[in-house]
Structure 1
Amino acid sequence: MTKTIYTRIMTKEITSVELKSVLGRELYICNGNCWTDVLDEFGFTYSSEQFCQYIADYEAWAELNNVYVEILEGKAEFRSSINAAKEVLKEWLEYNELEEFRSLYSTLSARQKEAVLCILRYSEILDMDLMCPTTSELSLLWKDSIKKQKHKANLLIPVMETDCTYTINLFTGKVINYADIDTVEDIL
């Protein structure tokens, strides 16, 4: 028997849900037994049962009004892998140069590689600090990131330092789009 989204919510198999429609984007995360919209400052908090009802009502409204709605799920298992990978990346960035990424990548397990690539695809580096989306958002992006792993030779990440900005391919170490901050400020 296939598990429905409602079953996965109730068993806490998924811990983040994103709803996308013409009404916009809503991102809910589970904290304990409460589901909260993290994008809305004044968002509602639902119990798991109430949240399941909210999704059912949302889907019914979309069907009745012939509106497309997309529901993305972020699994709890992805969250733990992402959190562990964030720690590995932050520690590695503290002691290594970006050009040495391949040496880190070769030491990771398959699951760690998936998590690291998911994080880096949606991140940027600011003065050698990793700036990335929340774990909840990354868990929603996990499946899309896995599909892109075939193209990992093109892992481009923006880097902003105090005196320059550039994009680097972490697998080749090749710098793309280098700009000196002083030159850019002089032009403006």
Structure 2
Amino acid sequence: MRAPVELGRREPERIGFGDIAGLEDLKRTVRLQIIEPFLKPGLFAKFRKRAATNMPWDVDPGMKRPGRFGRQVFVPPPDEAARAHIVELKLRGVPHEGIDGREVAARTRHFSGADIEGVVELAKDYVLEDHLTREVERPIRQPDLLRAAEATEATTLDWLRTARDLVRYAGADDSYRDVEAYLRQHKLV
């Protein structure tokens, strides 16, 4: 394996902030310089400040103080009813028949909206494969979606495992109470 410095010299476009531990201070500085203007009193007084991140544990505690981004909201993966609705939305304009969105939703526990979109795209691939190999033109059917759901893992699980470890071992404050409740409710703790 090549050293990060050597890699950066030969292929600078492949170096990311996470590639070299020494760039942690630079990341923090860039973040603060981009966000800092929004934090100055009065400058953007008529605007509500909102931010989103998949890694709240990496946000500088100074950014979480009241008056800045003082409130943290956990948005869990969609529940079963929402997943069924997402299936319906993702199939709009796509030839399909005999789809039970509730059954697909039941098999996609912890899936995000993007994960469900991936399931629908994979089901389309199965239909296309059928067309190319057997010269059968047909719409997406329930077995296609169920097969695609089986072949796909929820991408939220990695995040939930990290959050679980944070709640369990890092002595996290009350800002992760909603995450902990979700983990307990779904027996992930």
Give the number of the structure whose residues are more often strand, by fraction. 1
TM-score exceeds 0.5? no
Give the number of the structure whose residues are more often helix, by fraction. 2
| TM-score class normalised by the smaller sequence | under 0.3
TM-score (norm 1): 0.24
Whose Rg is larger? 2
